[in-house]
Amino acid sequence: MCLMVPRMDVQVTDRVNPSLAPATVANVPLGLALMASFTSQAGDYLTIQYVGEWHSHPKGVSARPSGDDEGVFAYLQAHIEPTGSPYAMFICGEVDTWFRVGWSGCISGEGTIDHAAG
What was the pLDDT predicted at 74? 92
Rounded to whole angstroms, what are the CA distances from 68 to 41, 54, 65, 78?
35, 13, 8, 15
Whose CA is closest to 90, among 116, 111, 104? 111
What was the pLDDT predicted at 56? 92
Distance of alpha carbon 15 from alpha carbon 98, whole angstroms: 35
Q: Are 38 and 57 in contact (CB under 8 A)?
A: no
Distance of alpha carbon 105 from alpha carbon 46, whole angstroms: 18
CA-based angle 52:78:84, to the nearest 5? 70
SS3 39: helix
What was the pLDDT predicted at 66? 94
What was the pLDDT predicted at 80? 85
What was the pLDDT predicted at 3? 66
What was the pLDDT predicted at 48? 64
What was the pLDDT predicted at 68? 94
What was the pLDDT predicted at 99? 92
Q: Which residues of the chain have pLDDT under 50?
A: none
What was the pLDDT predicted at 43? 67
